[in-house]
Amino acid sequence: MESIRVLVVDDSALMRRIITDILQSDPGIQVVATARNGKDALEVLARQQADVVTLDVEMPVMDGLQTLPKILQLYKLPVIMVSSLTMAGAEHTIRALELGAFDFIAKPSGSISLDLAKVSDELIAKVIAAGQHSKNIQSGFKFSTLFAKPKRIIESWRSAANTLPADSASQKPDVRVAGNIKHVVAIGTSTGGPRALQTVLSGLPSDLQAAVVVVQHMPAGFTKSLANRLDQLCAVRVHEAVHGQVLETGHVYLAPGDYHMEVAESGGQLSILLDQTPPVGGHRPAVNNLFRSVAALRAIHLQAVILTGMGSDGAEGLRLIKLAGGKTISEAKETCVVYGMPKAAFETGAVDAVVPLQQVAAQMMRFLTT
């Protein structure tokens, strides 16, 4: 098997060296070049073939957000953003994912992270997944949603941002109902999830007669920015979940990074439980934890939805929800950024509907009314 060729882009020579050493510790990865900013990266790509780009978010001359659309448009390569754990870094990373970045890695301790080895396994796994995806693209296998035209993507979120003011949450009609919830929809996703969630949740009406709970594999510090962004773009309310929060209809709850999330019933109400028990299958939050808790709810119409992502998290939980009488959906292969989690779910034999991403919201609504 050919090595995955990687271009490493970071303004710090030390970080370029550390990232290169981590990646080349895997025999299947070859760092073919490095660049110190986006301008240099584009010049390198003009003469050097690569399969994957790791791209720092914050750089002089041309930063990651300026460079990303050009790489997607000119070279159609999967890009993994490398971001610092700051509020600005998180917001920029969410924007990058909207623009079409394949995934991201969070630097553990700021722009210069000498302890990047803490996330070395994650970095290698994501580069391998991106590399496989790149080779699928090169061999003619097409995914319809990965490389949408950057200009169109940029215009879409700018248009949405202009339509909804910054305090848009207060402008939304209050159609939510606490207690006596009849429908709960549980969604699990990983790589490609932020854009997939935007597509699905923006297809739901503000008077949705269900509560939606979501696990997106994402580290602490990023889920709040993602929830805020989705809340701006969707008719339903979207928030990072809080321990003890009572579920309401027309409301979406996103598990905070580094916390497992479950749903529990007490006194006729459903509420959020958060904990930091050990990771499950390498994940915290874990989709399976959420789905198992939802499967245990009584006298509630349940749905499980698995969207794009690496690995198999959520497959077992989806099976339990199906056994509990719930309806189940998995995203179709042709629209997945990574067909890992939906594939594992489908292979359980417990999936009721396999649909392209753009049809997931409509399928959810059909299941709510049947």
- CA–CA separation, 198 and 194 (whole Å): 6
pLDDT block averages, 10 residues each, the chain of length 370: 92 94 96 97 96 94 94 95 80 92 84 76 94 72 41 40 39 50 97 96 96 96 94 97 96 97 92 97 97 96 97 98 98 96 98 98 94
- CA–CA separation, 307 and 167 (whole Å): 29
Q: For 62-90, what is each residue's pLDDT tens digit?
A: 999 999 999 999 999 999 999 876 677 88
Give the position of tokens 């041309």: 62
Catalytic residue ranges:
190, 217, 313
- CA–CA separation, 355 and 307 (whole Å): 10
**Helix and strand totals (H; E) in the chain:** 13, 14
Percent of the chain surpassing pLDDT 70: 85
Domains 4-142 and 174-368 share a fold: yes
Residues whose CB is less than 8 angstroms from the CB of residue 300 and which lie 6 or more positions away in sequence, other chains included:
181, 182, 183, 184, 270
Handedness of CA 257, 231, 363, 174 (dihedral sign): positive
- Other Cβ atoms within 10 Å of 66 Cβ, number: 13
First to last CA, the chain: 48
Report yes or no: 109 and 86 within 8 Å, Cβ to Cβ.
Answer: no
Report yes or no: 43 and 71 within 8 Å, Cβ to Cβ.
Answer: no
Adjacent-strand bridge partners of 351? none
DSSP-assigned states of every residue in 2-47: PPEEEEEE-S-HHHHHHHHHHHHTSTTEEEEEEESSHHHHHHHHTT
Domain 4-142: which CATH class? alpha beta
Give the position of tokens 């979207």: 238
* Token output for 18: 């550390």
* Token output for 312: 């198999």
Task: Delimit the domains of the chain by residue range.
Answer: 4-142, 174-368
Residues whose CB is less than 8 angstroms from the CB of residue 158 and which lie 6 or more positions away in sequence, other chains included:
none
- Report the predicted TM-score, pTM, of the whole model to 2 decimal places: 0.87
For the domain spanning 174-368, the CATH number is 3.40.50.180
- CA–CA separation, 348 and 77 (whole Å): 32
- Amino acid at site 248: E
Give the position of tokens 């941002």: 161
* Token output for 83: 């971001």
> How long a stretch of residues is the chain?
370
- CA–CA separation, 325 and 225 (whole Å): 34
